Structure 1
Amino acid sequence: MGDLFVWLISFFLLIALLVLVTYQLMCLADLEFDYINPYDSSSRINTVVLPEFIIQGVLCFFYLFTGHWIMSLYAAPCLYFNVRLYRQGKHLVDVTEIFNLLSWEKKQRLVKLFYLVFTLFISVFWMIYTSMDD
């Protein structure tokens, strides 16, 4: 029964990550279609970047501490990418360069979105498998 709660917590953390990445993609799409100015778009994206990185780190270490080694190893590349972006200072969107990097930023967040959706499917599968086993 305790393992089911672990999968439920990871499910909610993954949903939070999906919401944050989708919000960033929506801000970039609004900027691309000229519904919002670059300053508002970059400030909205920059406010949710660090919470996204923190939740990703918590999720990776949560898998590690609960004994789900494969899921922890699966979450580690995304955590490494986030840490590398943070250390290089490229984690925030620059107002002056946002139009030049718009396609790169969208592709980066789309890859994260697909990665998180796949992780969510794996998590749901293991949650169902664990509930059927108990």
Structure 2
Amino acid sequence: MEAVVFVFSLIDCCALIFLSVYFIITLSDLECDYINARSCCSKLNKWVVPELIGHTIVTILMLISLHWFIFLLNLPVATWNIYRFIMVPSGNMGVFDPTEIHNRGQLKSHMKEAMIKLGFHLLCFFMYLYSMILALIND
């Protein structure tokens, strides 16, 4: 049963890695003026909720399966995703808003956040892979 938890977490982590890379590519396209702010934000906003759900499911799964270290490692990122989604100002298009993405250095902060998430998901990928192999050996 423990191996199934880590296999699912590994698959989910792969999806989150690809999503982080997609965010980085789309934001860098906006930075280089290959796409306009409206299309960039609409592309990114439709993936905010799936990212939120994917990461929250893994966090809750680690809590239910009593893997405390991995749960506590995932909790701040899941909390940040939920906070960022809830605190979207009224009138904005979503987490990524085309009227504000160039103001106050938001583009750089979104890019930095996507890079940090990519590094975090890569770390989690190898941690889940190691845990999965260990669980398969122990079973």
TM-score range, shorter chain: over 0.9
Aligned to 1:104: 109
Superposition TM-score, scaled by structure 1 size: 0.92
Q: Spell out the pairing of 1:1-134 with structure 2 (5 A cutoff).
A: 2-89=1-88, 92-100=95-103, 101-134=106-139
1:94 maps to a residue whose letter is D
Residues matched between the structures, number: 133
Unaligned runs of 5+ in 1: none
Unaligned runs of 5+ in 2: none
Runs of 4+ off more than 6 Å: none
RMSD (Å), alpha carbons: 1.3
SS of residue paired to 2:100: coil
Give the superposition deviation at 1:87.
2.3
| Percentage of matched positions with identical amino acids | 29
Superposition TM-score, scaled by structure 2 size: 0.89
Partner deviation per Cα, 1:32-76 (whole Å, 9 max, x = no partner) = 111111111110000001110111111100111122121111100
